[in-house]
Structure 1
Amino acid sequence: MNNKIVVGCDIGGSHISTALVDLENRILVEDTFERQTVNSHDEIAAIIDSWSDCIQSSMKKGNLETTAIGIAIPGPFDYEKGVSLMKNQNKYEALYEINVKVLLAKKIGINTEDITFLNDAACFLQGEMFAGAGVLFKRAVGLTLGTGLGSALFLNGHAEDGDLWCVKFRESIAEDYLSGHWLKSTYIKRTGKHIESVKALCAIAEADADASAILREFGYTLAEFVSEHLLDKEPEGLILGGNIAKGYEHFLSHTQDRLKERGISLPIKIAQLGEMAAIYGAAGALKTGL
């Protein structure tokens, strides 16, 4: 088996993306990326077939018959055993309590030991630490600022789900203040105007005082959250991903200013790998033995 070239795989609720990753050089193997839609409401065999087809397509493009496979997949999931625990999640209901590692290994024609399942939130940070914004850090926290709030911790050579979305914050929980939902609902509440997305909010920020003020407030809120919930992890840096992070120029300077006022020096980096982060992370975890 070629231990230097492995498959990185990202499984979501409606898609699967795969590519071969060169672990030694920390790059994707050229022309091996595959992305296919998956009907997560399908039967067991159809889902496994979809996953297998995409993985084997990448392997075929790289002329590999067998190799290790790292798979980023959302929970709840028994990652060590390869058993899905997703129930009432509106996806992959048919796989509940099924050992998908065994089924997938049999379909591809490899040993179960060659497949490793990993938490998708952790893989985002693992990927950025392996080949992206966090390569110079040994300890870091990753926040995915999107529809909701995702988090991961890289503290002991590997990433794990931070599960910070539900920590107590202000009058509720963190996700209620650090999410696309908060940005959009706050704009609508203050102006009476509908806003389609965070991207649209950022697009009007320079001309719309309300949009600008809300994004500035978001930046201050992020600083407050960092102060209260991240510093005890003793990170060397913070990595921001997700759709909100793409508009960092509208709020990040306010976060940094507020942290500076509090005497906090914490480098903040914007994620570099985009949707490739989970693929890099799933593959990179094989190198670190996660």
Structure 2
Amino acid sequence: MSQKKILAGDIGGSHFTLALFEEKGTELNLLQTERHVLDSKLPKEEILQQWVLSLKKYTKGNPGLCISLAMPAPFDYEKGVCWIKEQGKFNSLFGCDLKTEFSQGLGIPRSQIKFINDAEAFLFGEAHFGKGFGFTNLLGITLGSGLGSAIKQGDILFDADLWQSPLKGGIAEDYLGTGWFLKLVKNKFGLELKGVKDLLDHETLQPEIPVIFDIYAKNLSEFILSVYAKVPFEAVIIGGNISLSSALFVPKLLEHLRDATADIVIEISQLGELSTIYGATSLFFEARSERASN
């Protein structure tokens, strides 16, 4: 029976998670996971050192290990080059050839290292193992420091790259990412916060939280409806750190969708980061993958 070990990773602006899998025939077994805090505003050398040291624990004594990493856009996934810029994360990695850096740092061939869009990996994982199972057409979105998006149409799944799509006179990410909350709180209340959790924990803001998330729900509904008008889907699968506060915005979101007579199911990921992790493994299971380039 053929056996292959795959190290899959989900790399975000504040963390990275690694999971080791073993393929036995048609089965994919999760062996272990680990999560690391990461400051994506650090210099290039420090970020690379942290990644390489964490990956090297798995490649040591296992030269045939396949590594599949989910990264946010913009990124050249084929060549492994990071093009993220002015998004509040990984600015120091702009133009960095991560595939070469990892290959040299780990002493393994470039062919054993692959990258996938994080939202695409998320939706692949959800469609096969999570809330998206059984649906033919899906929109997957990850709400966090940025906006990730992917679309599934029948057997084809691809990165939708909707973060720059028009919304409210600007772009969608500006109204759906963490930055929207921080900007609103700063402009309205003069408070400097670091994330949505700070907002939820801030004692003096408690009366304002329902109002803030109602506005957010309206923003999200406008985005979903704009995508639905171009590419109809049965359901939206929502992940990312902001989805952890779904109880604060999903009821209002559903209300807005009903008002627009849009029959769309809203599902919140229960697998969390594991959706992206499982989706990333598809890079080395092409025979079972329905991914496609957009």
Q: Do they superpose with TM above 0.5?
A: yes
> Partner of 1:141 in structure 2?
139
* Separation in 2, partners of 1:195, 1:47: 26
* Separation in 2, partners of 1:151, 1:48: 26
| Aligned 8 A contact 2:83 2:93 in 1 | no
Larger strand proportion of the pair: 2
2:164 counterpart letter in structure 1: C
Matching residue within 17, 22, 28 for 2:30: 28
* Separation in 2, partners of 1:47, 1:146: 20
What are the superposed Cα offsets for residues 200-221 of structure 1, whole Å, 9 maximum, x if unpaired? 544689x955432232232233
Query: C-alpha displacement at 1:132, in angstroms?
Result: 2.9
SS at match of 2:285: helix
What are the superposed Cα offsets for residues 44-95 of structure 1, whole Å, 9 maximum, x if unpaired? xx766644442342356xx854232212233443221334445677637478
| Structure 2 counterparts to residues 15-94 of structure 1, below 5 A | 16-22=16-22, 24-25=26-27, 28-29=30-31, 31-33=32-34, 35=36, 41-43=43-45, 50-58=50-58, 64-85=62-83, 91=90, 93=92
What are the superposed Cα offsets for residues 121-157 of structure 1, whole Å, 9 maximum, x if unpaired? 3223333334333233343212222244332223364
Task: Name stretches of at least 5 consecutive residues in structure 2 with no aligned partner.
Answer: none
Query: C-alpha displacement at 1:255, in angstroms?
Result: 1.2
Distance 1:188 1:281, change over 3 A: same
What are the superposed Cα offsets for residues 166-204 of structure 1, whole Å, 9 maximum, x if unpaired? 2222233323332333334445555x3637443354468
Which TM-score applies when normalising by structure 1? 0.76
Larger mean Cα displacement after TM superposition, 87-96 or 136-145:
87-96
Which TM-score applies when normalising by structure 2? 0.76
| Structure 2 counterparts to residues 104-119 of structure 1, below 5 A | 104-105=102-103, 107-119=105-117
| Structure 2 counterparts to residues 135-174 of structure 1, below 5 A | 135-155=133-153, 157=155, 159-174=157-172
| Aligned 8 A contact 1:34 1:57 in 2 | no
SS at match of 1:230: helix
Task: Name stretches of at least 5 consecutive residues in structure 1 with no aligned partner.
Answer: none
> Partner of 2:175 in structure 1?
177
Question: Aligned Cα RMSD in Å?
Answer: 3.7
What are the superposed Cα offsets for residues 92-137 of structure 1, whole Å, 9 maximum, x if unpaired? 7478364x43453455454433322212332233333343332333
| Aligned 8 A contact 1:36 1:54 in 2 | no
